[in-house]
């Protein structure tokens, strides 16, 4: 049994996620999907492709199961050492930032997701869970203050924000799985 949503997502959809991350990096476009639960298993919906820094709203579709979350990529953050990334954001992300933009968090709360996952920050899978429960207990003012503050400071969501909202945070390095797909796609032999 998985200990957290990162583990569960990776166990059930890791191959699909690694492929989407590889394609996102190759195309330099955000990609994402709604995640559903059907018969106790996580299922990924149709993949949506956006621009290098934006993805249209992920809309649940009929027939996949109960929508429980979403996953998307931030390709501009895959290579945090490169100059184009620093230029795009104006600065390197701080250690307190956990991968989600204020818009990501707002969407998850508005859509009443149980979790939201993003891959960026050097091919790291970041997940926040407990959103439905948090919506029942968190004060709207606290949520809006966090969103406003991060937008004013041009920051991503921080670990302290997740804690204030009562959310669970986990992360997982998926670089090797993406590299393995890239090698296979490009016809490189294993070392």
Give pLDDT tens digits for 96-108.
888 898 999 999 9
Q: What secondary structure, in 3-state letters, does the chain show?
A: CCCCHHHHHHHHHHHHHHHHHHHHHHHCCCEEEEEEEECCEEEECCCEECCCCCCCCCCCCCCCCEEEEEEEECHHHCCCCCHHHHHHHCCCCCCCECCCCHHHHHHHHHCCCCEEEEEECCCEEEEEECHHHHHHHCCHHHHHHHHHHHHHCCCCCEHHHHHHHCCEEEEEECHHHHHHHHHHHHCCCCC
Task: Express each pLDDT in 66-107 by its tens digit.
Answer: 999 999 998 877 765 544 444 444 445 677 888 898 999 999
Work out the pLDDT band at 163, boundaries 50, 70, 90: very high
Report how far residue 41's alpha carbon sits from residue 183's, in angstroms, rounded to the nearest whole number: 29
Residue 164 lies in a domain: yes
Residue 166 half-sphere exposure, CB side, CA atoms within 13 Å? 14
Mean pLDDT score across all residues of the chain = 88
Q: How many domains does the chain fold into?
A: 1
Q: Is the separation of the CB atoms in 103 and 112 below 8 Å?
A: no
Q: How far apart are CA 68 and CA 42, in angstroms?
A: 9
pLDDT band at 187 (very low <50, low <70, confident <90, very high): confident
Which domain range does residue 87 map to? 5-186
Residue 143 is assigned to a structural domain of this protein = yes
Q: Within a domain: residue 170?
A: yes
In a domain, 191, yes or no: no
pTM: 0.88
| Domain-located, residue 167 | yes
Tens-place pLDDT, residues 8-58: 999 999 999 999 999 999 999 999 999 999 999 999 999 999 988 888 889
Q: Which residues of 5-16 are buried (b: 16+ CB within 10 A; e: fewer)?
A: bbebbbebbeee
Give residue 54's pLDDT: 86
């Amino acid at each position: 049994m998985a200990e957290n949503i990162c583990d569960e997502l990776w166990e059930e959809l890791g191959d699909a996620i690694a492929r989407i991350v590889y394609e996102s990096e190759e195309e330099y476009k955000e990609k994402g999907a709604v995640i559903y639960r059907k018969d106790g298993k996580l299922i990924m919906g149709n993949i949506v492709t956006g621009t290098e820094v934006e993805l249209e709203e992920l809309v649940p579709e009929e027939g996949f199961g109960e929508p429980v979350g979403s996953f998307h990529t931030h390709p501009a953050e895959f290579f945090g050492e490169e100059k184009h990334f620093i230029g795009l954001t104006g600065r390197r992300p701080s250690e307190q930032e956990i991968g989600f933009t204020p818009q990501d968090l707002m969407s998850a709360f508005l859509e009443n997701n149980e979790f939201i996952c993003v891959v960026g920050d050097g091919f790291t899978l970041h997940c926040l869970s407990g959103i439905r429960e948090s919506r029942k207990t968190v004060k709207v003012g606290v949520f809006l203050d966090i969103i406003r503050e991060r937008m004013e400071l041009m920051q991503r969501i921080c670990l302290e924000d997740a804690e204030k909202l009562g959310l669970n945070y986990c992360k997982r390095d998926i670089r090797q799985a993406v590299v393995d797909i890239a090698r296979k796609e490009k016809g490189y032999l294993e070392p």
